[in-house]
Structure 1
Amino acid sequence: MRLMTTIQQAPGWGRRRLLVALTGAALLAAALLAGLAYVLVDAVTDQAPANPVLVSSTASPASGLGWRDQVAAAPMLRVDPAAAREGTPAATPGRAIVVPPATREGPAGVPTGYPRTSAGAVGQLAAIDTTVLTGMSLERTWQVHRGWALPGASHVGQWVMTENVRAFLAAAGPAAPAGAPAAVVAIPAGGQVKGTDGPNWVVACVLLRVDATIARTASIAYGHCERMQWHEGRWQIAPGTQPATAPSTWPGTELAASAGWLAWAETGQP
C-alpha cells in the first residue's frame, strides 16, 4: 500500500535515437541492439514532464485497483538514451537489493521458487525477462507469456517483451552475415520495488545488462517494470496495463542510483 520512490517521466527512445546512442559500437551487434531496444521506450514527446512528479500515498486510496493503477502508471526518471551505454561511475558503492535465488524450474523452463516477498517478485521478473531475451524467439516468448501471465495481463501480441524480440529478429535478419549466428546474454544488474499493495501485489522493476554478439559484441542497459501478483504459490504477471517505462541506465553509475536502481545481489553472495 505504498509507493517506494519519488519518480519522474521516462524518456523515449525511437529507432533513430537508439542508433545514435549506439554509435561507436560494433556495427552488426549495434544493429541487433537497435532492433531490440527500438521498442524499449517510446520517443520523447512533449507530454513528458520536465520536473519530478511526486505521487504520495496520502492522496491515494489505501489499496485496490485505483491505487494499483496509480502506482503502475506513475512516471519514472527521465534519462537520455546515451545513459543506457555509459555514465559517470558512482563515487561510493550504492545500496543493494538482495534477491533470493530460484529453487526450481517453473512453466516454460523459467526459474522459480522465489519467496512471497517484494524481492522475490523482482527475482521472478528477472527470471522471466532473461529467459525471453536469451531464447530470442517468438515461439519461446509465447510459451513464457502463456505460463506466466494471468488473465487480464497484456496480450502476448502487445507485451513489451514480445515487441523486443520481434524488433531484434527483424534487425538480425539483414544484419547477420551468412554463418554468423546472433547470441544474446541478459544479466540482472539492478532492481527496485516501485510500489506494493499488500503482500500479494508488487510493481517490480529490473535493470538488465543485455549483450548482443555477431562476431563482435555491443552492450546496452534495459530497465523493465511489471505488475506482479502472488498466485498459486508463485509470482506471476498481474492483470492491468503495463507500468510506465523504467529508466534504462548503465549499472553502477550515479544516474542509475538517482533513478532508484539498487545493485543486484543474490542471497549468499559476498
Structure 2
Amino acid sequence: MTNSDHTPRWGRRRLLAALTGAALLAVTLIAGLGYLLVDAVTGPATATPVQASLKAVSAAAPERRDQLAAAPMLKVDPAAGRKGTPAATSSPAIAVPPATREGPAGVPSGFLRTPAGAVGQLAAIDTTVVAAMSVDRTREIHRAWALPGAPAVGRWVMTDNVRAFLAAAGPAAPAGAPPAVVAIPAAGQVKGTDGPSWVVACVLLRVDATIARTATIAYGHCERMQWNDDRWQIGPGAQPATAPSTWPGTDLAASAGWLAWAETGQG
C-alpha cells in the first residue's frame, strides 16, 4: 500500500449511502460534511503505539521523513467526528502562536518557526480553504502554499473535500442562499519533526455548514510542513496518514493525541 492510499477521499458510494432514508436537504448537508471523514472510518478505535514515539524523533534521511508521515494514527468510528461526551478532566493544550500578517492568496501567515507555528499555519490554510469552499480559491491557495513535490492540486485532500462538498450541497441549496461553511481550529498535535524546518503538523477542525439548517463535524488533517521563504509551506512528499477525526474535548480525542487549541502571544 502506498502513502496515497491513506488519503481521505469523499467517495460517491458513501454519498449514496448517506442519502438513504433521510430528507434530501438535511442529509445532503451532512453528507457533504461527512466525507471529510472517509478514511478515518475504517474500524473501531484502536491504539497505535507507534504514535507516542514519534514526538521526539529527529529524522535525517528522506526515508525517515516518509516513515514519520506514513505512520498510522488512531483509527476511529465515523460517529466519533459528529458527537462525543466531554472528558471529565481537561486535556493538555498546544500553545499556538498567532498569525502576524497576511500571506500569499490571503492566507494568514507570520507564524513562528516552531512546530506549534507549523500547526498554526496548517490551520490557517485549511480554514481559508473551507471558508471559501471554492475550487478556484483552492487552486489559488495550493499554488501559493505547496512546494514542488507536494501533492498536486488535483490529488490534494482539501481539493477533494471542496469538490465533494459542492457536489453534495449544490442540488439542495435554496436559490440565492449558497452554503455557508466555517472552520475553527479545536485541537492540534505535532506528529513528528526533523529539525527546526520540517514538521508533520496536524489540526483538528470544528466545521459548521449551513444550508437552511446547520450541521457540524470534527475533521482531522495532517500535512508535511516545511520552512521555506520565511514561512511554513506544504512540503514535498505523499500525503501523510489520515488523522483521527474525533469530537474535541473527549477522552477519545485525548487518546488520539489531540491537544486543546490555545492561541498565545509571541512570547
Fold shared per TM-score above 0.5: yes
Task: Please give the TM-score of this superposition, normalised by the length of structure 2.
Answer: 0.86
| Deviation digits for residues 133-181 of structure 1 (CA, Å, limit 9, x no counterpart) | 0000000000000000000000000000000000011011112122322
Q: Residue 148 of structure 1 corresponds to which residue in structure 2?
A: 145
Task: Please give the TM-score of this superposition, normalised by the length of structure 1.
Answer: 0.85
CA–CA distance in structure 1, aligned partners of residues 19 and 103 of structure 2: 35
- Tell me whether 1:216 sits opposite 2:213 in the alignment: yes
Q: Residue 90 of structure 1 corresponds to which residue in structure 2?
A: 87
More deviation in 61-70 or 212-221?
61-70
CA deviation after TM superposition for structure 1 residue 86, in Å? 1.0
Q: Residue 35 of structure 2 corresponds to which residue in structure 1?
A: 38
- Tell me whether 1:202 sits opposite 2:228 in the alignment: no
Partner residue of 1:80 out of 77, 81, 84: 77
Aligned length: 257
| Deviation digits for residues 51-101 of structure 1 (CA, Å, limit 9, x no counterpart) | 6352657xx984220110000000000110000011121111110001011
- Report the residue type matching 2:231 in the other structure: R
Please give the residue correspondences for 1:46-125 in structure 2 after superposition, counting only pairs within 5 Å: 52-54=48-50, 62-125=59-122
More helix by share: 2
CA deviation after TM superposition for structure 1 residue 214, in Å? 1.1
Contact 2:46–2:76 (8 Å) recurs in 1:
no
- Tell me whether 1:260 sits opposite 2:260 in the alignment: no
- Report the residue type matching 2:140 in the other structure: Q
CA–CA distance in structure 1, aligned partners of residues 22 and 99 of structure 2: 34
What percentage of aligned pairs have identical amino acids?
A: 76
- Report the residue type matching 2:151 in the other structure: S
CA–CA distance in structure 2, aligned partners of residues 12 and 144 of structure 1: 19
Q: Residue 3 of structure 2 corresponds to which residue in structure 1?
A: none
CA deviation after TM superposition for structure 1 residue 128, in Å? 0.2
Q: Residue 183 of structure 2 corresponds to which residue in structure 1?
A: 186
Tell me, which stretches of 5 or more residues in structure 1 are unaligned? 1-8
Contact 1:33–1:168 (8 Å) recurs in 2:
no
CA–CA distance in structure 2, aligned partners of residues 158 and 14 of structure 1: 14
The residue matched to 1:41 in structure 2 has which SS? helix
Give the direction of change, closer, same or farther, for the CA distance of 1:53–1:234 in structure 2 (3 Å limit).
Answer: same
Please give the residue correspondences for 1:9-28 in structure 2 after superposition, counting only pairs within 5 Å: 28=25
Contact 2:147–2:236 (8 Å) recurs in 1:
yes
Instruction: Please provide the CA RMSD for this pair.
Output: 3.0
Contact 1:83–1:248 (8 Å) recurs in 2:
yes
Contact 2:42–2:76 (8 Å) recurs in 1:
no
| Deviation digits for residues 163-204 of structure 1 (CA, Å, limit 9, x no counterpart) | 000001101111212232210000000000000011100000
Contact 2:147–2:233 (8 Å) recurs in 1:
yes
Q: Residue 4 of structure 1 corresponds to which residue in structure 2?
A: none
Tell me, which stretches of 5 or more residues in structure 2 are unaligned? 1-5
